[in-house]
Amino acid sequence: MTPRPPRRTSSRRGLVTGLVVATALALSGCTGVTYEDTALPAPATTSTPPAPTGTPVACTNATQSYDPLPSLPASSSITDGSVRAILERGHLTVGVSADTYLFGARDPFTNRIEGFDIDIARAVAQSLLGSASKVRFRVITAADRIEVLEKREVDMVARNMTMTCARWEQIAFSSEYYHSGQKLLVAKDPSGAVPDTTIEDLKGKRVCAPRGTSTLEKLRSVTGVEAVPAADHTGCLVLFQQGRADAITGDDTVLAGLAAQDPYTVVSSAPAITDEPYGLGFNQADVYLVRYVNRVLADLKADGRWKATYNRWLADTLGPAPAPPVGVHGRARP
């Protein structure tokens, strides 16, 4: 049998326990409360936008658009639904860029959006509605271009948009109104010489391109180059100035606009990597509107207004206007 401990010991133990509890309680009033550290929010997960679905669409006629109307009809005689809607509304809604210097950019002093693309849009409004001011600009990013057309939030997109086979699956293009090519913007050489950097020279470097553009897709296909996406080209310039990108790739015209904003950058003298034919974007169903605009564009190119517009915006940085791109027509209607 287990020997019982003497009674006294147990009562003494109880007393000791009681005293300890009492002391602990007394102390708890005196010592301060300690607070847990304020937690930091979980870092926002920067989801890299998935590469556009669908395999690249191959075709040989990306620059081919619908036949232009034989001549510009009187607005009152047009019966096409989409165009009638524009005429009744009294203004043309155009999706544009507000920060592509020289093509579509807001002048901070006047608050007006100006540039080559803007003048082309105004020319269409002039023809359709009789006044170059009957146009409303909606600022969109490159990634918005297809969506705003599909949802018919705008009648037309004039935002340095390259005509590609894949985009023809979703929208319609006018004939080519500007011919550009993809180049590289890099830091200026201290000696002042213009470097002839190519994309191959940039292995292991970070190169920026806007989201949702054909440029970014091409960039991602180059092995060894880290593609850095930004909302638009000006966003790329911000990243470049912050040291978060080593070079920017984009159409030479856009890069010229960026170089004009930062004297420490220069467009590489290496030849353009790609051909970038620019077209105005439309909803896929607006074939009549496309044909109408193709007529306007053909007239602009023929009567010298295209050259005048080019010289107004681009001659200073790119030299005098070349011959306007020749529109390719004859695309079969869907």
Partner 1 sequence: MTIVQTPPATIRGSGATLQTAVKGLLRGTPGRMRLMGVVGVLAALLLGGAATNAVLASEAAAERAANNTQQVVRMQSIHVDLLRADALATNAFLVGGLETAESRAQYDAAMASVIRTVAAGAAAQPADATALGALAEHVQTYAALVEQARSNNRLGLPVGARYLTEASASLRTSAIPVVVQLVQANEGRAQSEFERTNSSLQLYLGVGALVVLVLVAVWLARRTHRYVNPSFALGVVLLVVGLFVASSAIGGIGTAASQVASGDYRRAVDLAEIRTAANDARANESLTLIQRGGGDRYEQAWLANDTTIRAALNRVDGSPGLASAWQKYALAHAEIRGVDNDGRWEQAVELATSTGAAGTTAPFRAFDQQVTEQRDAASRSAIEQLGSLGGGSTVWAVLVGLVSLIASWLIVRGVGQRIKEYR
Residues that bind partner 1 (CB under 8 A): 1-3, 5, 8, 11, 15, 18-19, 22, 25-26, 28-30, 32-41, 44, 91, 98-101, 105-109, 111, 113, 136-141, 144, 231-232, 234-235, 237-238, 241, 257-258, 261-262
Output 156 or 163, the one with its CB closest to partner 1. 156
Which one, 34 or 60, has the nearer CB to partner 1? Answer: 34
How far apart, in Å, are the Cα atoms of 24 and each of 15, 28, 34, 109, 129? 14, 6, 16, 72, 88
Q: Write out the two tokens for 96.
A: 């544009």
Q: How much of the chain is in helix, strand and coil states, percent to nearest 5?
A: 35, 20, 45
Q: Name 290's bridge partners.
A: none
What is the C-alpha to C-alpha distance for residues 317 and 178, in angstroms, rounded to an integer?
16
Helix (H, G, I), strand (E, B) or coil at 145: helix
Closest to partner 1 by CB, 222 vs 231, is 231
Enumerate the β-bridge partners of residue 185.
Answer: 248, 267
Q: Pick the closest to residue 232 from 329, 152, 161, 324 (CA basis).
A: 161
> Minimum distance from CB of 15 to partner 1 (Å)?
7
By three-state DSSP, how is residue 238 classified?
Answer: helix
Tokens encoding 201: 């020279």
In this complex, which beta carbon is closest to partner 1, that of residue 8 or of residue 332? 8
Pairing mode, strands 178-187 and 247-251 = antiparallel
**What is the rounded CA–CA span in Å between residue 82 and residue 87?**
9
CA nearest 299: which of 69, 139, 118, 106?
A: 69
CB of 333: closest distance to partner 1 in angstroms? 31
3-state secondary structure of 109: coil
- Least Cβ distance, residue 209 to partner 1 (angstroms): 15
DSSP 30-56: HSPPPPPPPPPPPPP--PPPPPPSSPP
Q: CB-wise, 79 or 111, nearer to partner 1? A: 111
The residue among 257 and 327 lying less far from partner 1, judged by its C-beta, is 257
HSE, side-chain direction, 13 A CA sphere, residue 109: 0
Start-to-end CA distance of the chain, whole Å, equals: 103
Whichever of 38 and 79 has its CB closer to partner 1, that residue is: 38
The nearer residue to partner 1, 28 or 60, going by C-beta atoms, is 28
